[in-house]
Each structure stands twice: as structure tokens, then as C-alpha cells.
Amino acid sequence: MELRLKSMTEPHTSLIYHIHNCCRAFCKPFNYWVDGLFGDLHTDFKWSSDLKEALAEMCLLLGVKFTVPERFVPHRWLSAHDLAVSTIRLLDVLKVFYFSFLSKNDKKTYSAILDLFTPAKRSVLKLAAEFVKSKEN
């Protein structure tokens, strides 16, 4: 009886492998860009305290809860959802943060990204970008 209950409550290993393979097949067209993004964000802010502090201050200015991007583990496919939710929450701040590192020509090219924000957010974003630039000098 105990063996029967145990087999009914625990998922079969083969089922887990099938789900894992389906998820990998679904993600294949993305060519590991999402995995790479998660890894790059983790590396940028895990090992550089200056960047982490600047991002934390920008989050404070924009009213977004600051968290350090976590490491993505490829064989733990369920962790991708948690990382995606966290990254989406930080997305506006990350856009402004990385925008400040672009050259002047690239800023002209990609300035439309900042124009997508509401006027109130746009003024705060400009202040945040100026703040980051002042920290660089």
C-alpha cells in the first residue's frame, strides 16, 4: 500500500525528462539569447559592487524594488520563470542603466527606447541617467 501511494504522489522521472525536453524544444528558436541575458546580468552585478550600487540607486529613484539578478542554471528550467519575472520588474531600470554606457551616436540611434516611457517617468529617467554619468566622471 505504501509503495502504491508513493508512486502515485511522486512524479515519474520519465515525465520530468519529457517536460524538460519539451521546454528545451520550445526555447530552441531563441538560440539561448534569454539564457545569455540572464547570465550576463548576473555577472555584471554579482562581481561589480560599483555597478550594483549604481543600479540600486537608480531603482530607488524610479521606485522599483532592487534585487541582484540571480544566476540562471540551465538544467533547472523552472528557474527561468522566476528570473524572467525579476528581470521584467527591473527592465525599465536596466534600459536606463545600460543606455548611459552607449556612445553618443548609439544614444541617438536608440533614444526612441526612452521615448516609450510616460513623461513623468521620462524626467526621472533623465535624472537617473545624469546621476550615473556623474558617477562615471
Instruction: Give tens-digit pLDDT for 79-134.
Output: 777 888 888 888 888 888 888 888 889 888 887 777 666 566 666 667 777 777 77
* Residue 3 maps to a domain: no
* Residue 73 maps to a domain: yes
* Residue 131 maps to a domain: yes
The number of distinct structural domains making up the chain is 1
Average pLDDT over residues 74-79: 66
Q: Is the pTM of this model over 0.85?
A: no
* Residue 81 maps to a domain: yes
Structure confidence at residue 28 (pLDDT): 73
Residue 65: phi and psi, rounded to 5, are -65, 125
* Residue 82 maps to a domain: yes
* Residue 75 maps to a domain: yes
Residues 64, 92 contacting (CB under 8 angstroms): yes
According to DSSP, residue 69 is labeled P
Structure confidence at residue 5 (pLDDT): 46
Task: Round to whole Å and give the CA distance between 129 and 121.
Answer: 12
According to DSSP, residue 118 is labeled -
How many Cβ atoms from other residues are within 10 Å of residue 66's Cβ?
Answer: 17
Task: Round to whole Å and give the CA distance between 39 and 7.
Answer: 37
15: exposed, middle or buried (Cβ count in 10 Å: 0-12, 13-18, 19+): exposed
Please provide the average confidence, as pLDDT, over all residues in the chain. Answer: 76
* Residue 65 maps to a domain: yes
Which residues form the domain of 124? 31-136
* Residue 17 maps to a domain: no
